[in-house]
Structure 1
Amino acid sequence: MTAETGKRARGTTPHPPLACAIRRRPIMAQGAEPAQRKLDSASADIVWNRLTGYSIDPVTLQRDAQAMADAPDTVIVIDDDPDVRESLGRLLRSVQLQVRLYGSVPEFLDVGRPDAPTCLVLDVRLPGQGGLDFQRELSSASVELPIIFITGHGDIAMSVQAMKGGAIEFLTKPFREQDLLDAIRSGLERDRARREKAQAVAEIQARFETLTPREREVMTLAVSGRLNKQIAVAIGLSENTVKIHRGNISRKMGATSLVELVLMAEKLKGLPIAGSTGKPQVP
């Protein structure tokens, strides 16, 4: 009985939704800190109602940033040929990279993506879901994962499709080891930059969530270019009260100028905010 037949005989477990599986956090060692933090609704309410003068703890932010910096670069290899997997594993370990080896896409989804800069080395032809189909599924789920395709049966049409889908490289077996390593370094650098950008946005979002509803309203008008007098008229406050709100906003957001506050507001566009009724109301 083949491994595939045995698997069918035992039955299979439905896989989790793609976006959830690919973003799943790994089991963390005691004392470890996640790379990104977001306040839940209850935390936001506590901040608004009890800690109006609260500011984000810089020690916590520094610790989160350090955890991200310390995360080891990891290469995911998905290839149904065990000899190819082991050969690639030895190569990547020889250059001090963390490696995870899988024989199929479902095997990878069962474990999930590591919380570290990651690059995917993906065979085009796989049992079940093929590499190009998986690339399309990742794109549809808005999951950013740098991909390097490898194949022993590639053609120009496949290569064009892969590169149009955002692949780092399309390599035909046998390929030069250095070509693969160069592509992996490029993919890891891209994912590292994505993680750093996401961390920066998460910190701004956490600060925004400490603002009271009135402070958010004032911030919306301030970053749109309204003067204090105009803001006061628009929301029915005194000009002096508006100045106080703006001072609190600058302190909580960590902004030293209006320009910096505007840049923060730009990064918050389209993001859901915990404890609010919708998205941040920034122009």
Structure 2
Amino acid sequence: MDDDPSVLRGLTRMFQVEGYAVEEFSHPRRLLERGPGPRPGCVVMDLRMPELNGLELQEELRRTGWLHPFVFISGHGDVPAAVKAMKAGAVDFLSKPFSTTELLAAVERALAQDRAASLVEQEHQALRSRFSTLTPREWQVCRMVTLGLLNKQIAAELGTAEQTVRLQRSRVMEKVAVDSLAELVRLVERLDSQR
């Protein structure tokens, strides 16, 4: 993203020659209207642009749910702007003129970061999906089981028969697709760490 048409064309050509799928935007609002693209991806953008500068655009994109990392390029970059961009999650901040090698390396780091984040998010979604199949009562039993309570203790706590708890516990193990209590405890801990 750059408001200088010649810079935008040059960057687009360079990325295409290197085998990247590229979408170019000359105005920040067009990128905001577009919405996030497929993953992995990254946003390469100039610091100075019309209406919204790069830092404001980065903030707005994050606010609207963008997960892609950012690489800033600027002919007018200063240390405070670079620090602010990096604290807000930018992978790199390159001052013009920069080399093609520097930019490609920054983009590769951003794409690697996005790939890793995407895999983690997929794992989190799969885990949440497994637990979403539990009924509210099964979830209560699951929590109590992972706290180390015995079936008899859970039954007394919930005011139900021990045989009912045994059946609910079995359903929890089946729905969440685990074979052992230790595995169930690890999954519940991972699920809790995501919140």
With the length of structure 1 as denominator, give the TM-score of the two structures.
0.64
| 1:220 correspondence with 2:149 | no
| 1:90 correspondence with 2:13 | yes
How far residue 257 of structure 1 moved from its aligned partner, in angstroms, is: 2.3
Q: What is the aligned partner in structure 2 of residue 204 from structure 1?
A: 127
The count of residues paired between Structure 1 and Structure 2 equals: 195
Q: In terms of mean alpha carbon deviation, does 169-178 or 236-245 score higher?
A: 236-245
Q: What is the aligned partner in structure 2 of residue 232 from structure 1?
A: 155
Q: What is the aligned partner in structure 2 of residue 133 from structure 1?
A: 56
More helix, by proportion? 2
How far residue 192 of structure 1 moved from its aligned partner, in angstroms, is: 1.3
| 1:107 correspondence with 2:22 | no
Q: What is the aligned partner in structure 2 of residue 250 from structure 1?
A: 173
Q: Which amino acid aligns with 1:241?
A: T
Kindly report which structure 2 residues correspond to 1:262-281, keeping only aligned pairs within 5 A, or say none.
262-269=185-192
Considering Cα pairs closer than 8 Å and 6+ residues apart, tell me whether 1 or 2 has the greater RCO.
1
Q: Distance in 2 between the 1:144 and 1:112 partners?
A: 11
Q: Distance in 1 between the 2:107 and 2:161 partners?
A: 58
2:185 aligned counterpart, secondary structure: helix
How far residue 139 of structure 1 moved from its aligned partner, in angstroms, is: 4.2
Q: Distance in 1 between the 2:130 and 2:183 partners?
A: 14
Q: What is the aligned partner in structure 2 of residue 162 from structure 1?
A: 85
CA shift in 2, pair 1:268/1:79, >3 Å: same
| 1:117 correspondence with 2:30 | no
Query: Considering only aligned residues, what root-mean-square deviation do their CA atoms show, in Å?
Result: 2.0
Q: Which amino acid aligns with 1:184?
A: V
1:117 aligned counterpart, secondary structure: coil
Q: What is the aligned partner in structure 2 of residue 191 from structure 1?
A: 114
Q: What is the aligned partner in structure 2 of residue 260 from structure 1?
A: 183
How far residue 268 of structure 1 moved from its aligned partner, in angstroms, is: 3.3
With the length of structure 2 as denominator, give the TM-score of the two structures.
0.90
2:42 aligned counterpart, secondary structure: strand
Q: Distance in 1 between the 2:9 and 2:184 partners?
A: 50
How far residue 142 of structure 1 moved from its aligned partner, in angstroms, is: 5.8
Q: Distance in 2 between the 1:95 and 1:225 partners?
A: 55
Q: What is the aligned partner in structure 1 of residue 97 from structure 2?
A: 174
Q: Distance in 2 between the 1:266 and 1:138 partners?
A: 31
- 1:189-214 CA-partner distances (Å, limit 9, x unpaired): 11111111111121222222221222
CA shift in 2, pair 1:256/1:178, >3 Å: farther
